[in-house]
Amino acid sequence: MTTLDARGLSCPEPVIMIQKAMKTKEASYVMMVDNHASKENVTRFAEKAGYTVTIKENGGEYTLEMRK
């Protein structure tokens, strides 16, 4: 499982990060983001890539768990 920290980064950077990471085709990834747009965009990208996304919120930050 690869963990990526995209907190403080704004789109499209978090999506480019997950896009590059997903080239290794792992079964699961975890990404931390801190804004709604990144949460939505990464979720949309991961779901299109066939991952199921679970989102946990903690004080304005989001942890996205992506699993095949």
Residues that bind other proteins (CB under 8 A): 7-13, 15-16, 19, 35-37, 40-41, 44-45, 47-48, 60
The CA-atom distances, in angstroms, between 44 and each of 37, 59, 64 are 11, 22, 11
We find the least distance from the C-beta atom of residue 47 to other proteins, in angstroms, to be: 7
Residue placing its CB nearer to other proteins in the complex, 35 or 66: 35
Residue placing its CB nearer to other proteins in the complex, 20 or 68: 20
Strand order in the sheet with 2-5: 2-5, 28-33, 61-67, 52-58
Quickly tell me which residue has 């990464």 as its tokens: 42
We find the least distance from the C-beta atom of residue 1 to other proteins, in angstroms, to be: 22
